[in-house]
Amino acid sequence: MRDRVPASPSLSTRATSRRPPHSIDVILFTPRGTHLAALCVRAADPQAREPWQLPTDWVAGDETLDATARRVARSAAGVDPTWLEQVGAFADGLRHPTDAVLSVAFVAVVPASVLELATTDAAWFSVGEPPSLPPRQRSMLDAALEALRTRMDYAPIAFKLLPPMFTLSELQQMYEILLGRRLHKASFRRALQGAVLVEPTEEWRSEGRGRPAQFYRFAPRKRRTGRRAVRFDLL
């Protein structure tokens, strides 16, 4: 589990002679209800200023950064993330639980179905009300959330959070949870139709009160890269 994080008393002493070279921190998101939640773990050091922190560890052996991040996420959540990407390196003077000189942040997601956590050493916090975190990890969380939302246009993140078959309403709800804002139904489906990303199946959802919904599956087709116009979105 998290025994890899050194809970040694040497952590609390600021005058460490051998600070770890660099840590890998993972911001793991999951849809919880209608909002996003991020995974935090209890601070390794009981004397820590903040009771919670982000899952972190350092690279072991010949691991790639991605592999390390996956291992950290799996160790904290119990399952492998279904999507993971690097956010960037953080090495300002802000405090980090491991006192690493440099930390590489990763953003990852897991489906909601695996919400159950085995231990009480980890908990989901709504992104709207995150716990108090070590300063560097706080800035990492903000950057990860922004990275998640900007990369949604280019990576099928929402699809990785859904089962192989899903309704278009479920897909739209997932987009709304991830983006944190409501979307227009007709526009969403029109754009989805334009991009050839999904194909209908013969299955229909029978449960529920209203009209049955058709199930779709993720089946992207190659299409020529549409050169967008210049966007002046500065400020």
Residues of the shown chain interacting with a second copy in the complex, contacts defined by CB under 8 A: 21-22, 59, 62, 64-65, 86-89, 91-93, 101-102, 104, 152-156, 175, 179, 181, 183, 187-188, 191-192, 194-195, 197, 220-223, 226-227, 229-235
The tokens for 136 are 């560097």
Rg over alpha carbons for the chain, rounded to the nearest Å, is: 20
- Phi, psi of 129, deg, nearest 5: -130, 75
Half-sphere exposure of 115 (CA within 13 A, CB side): 10
Binding site residues, DNA, CB under 7 A? 167-169, 183-187, 189-191, 194, 206, 208-214, 227-229, 231
Long-range contacts of the stretch 9-13 (C-beta < 8 A, 24+): 9/45, 11/44, 11/45, 11/97, 11/98, 11/99, 12/45, 12/47, 12/48
The tokens for 152 are 């949604």
CB of 204 to DNA, least distance (A): 7
CB of 181 to a second copy, least distance (A): 7
Between 139 and 167, CB nearer to DNA: 167
- Phi, psi of 216, deg, nearest 5: -120, 165
Q: Which does 213 bind (CB under 5 to 8 A by kind): a second copy, DNA, none?
A: DNA
Between 79 and 183, CB nearer to a second copy: 183
Between 11 and 171, CB nearer to DNA: 171
CB of 196 to DNA, least distance (A): 12
Between 175 and 215, CB nearer to a second copy: 175
Q: What is the greatest pairwise CA distance in the chain?
A: 66
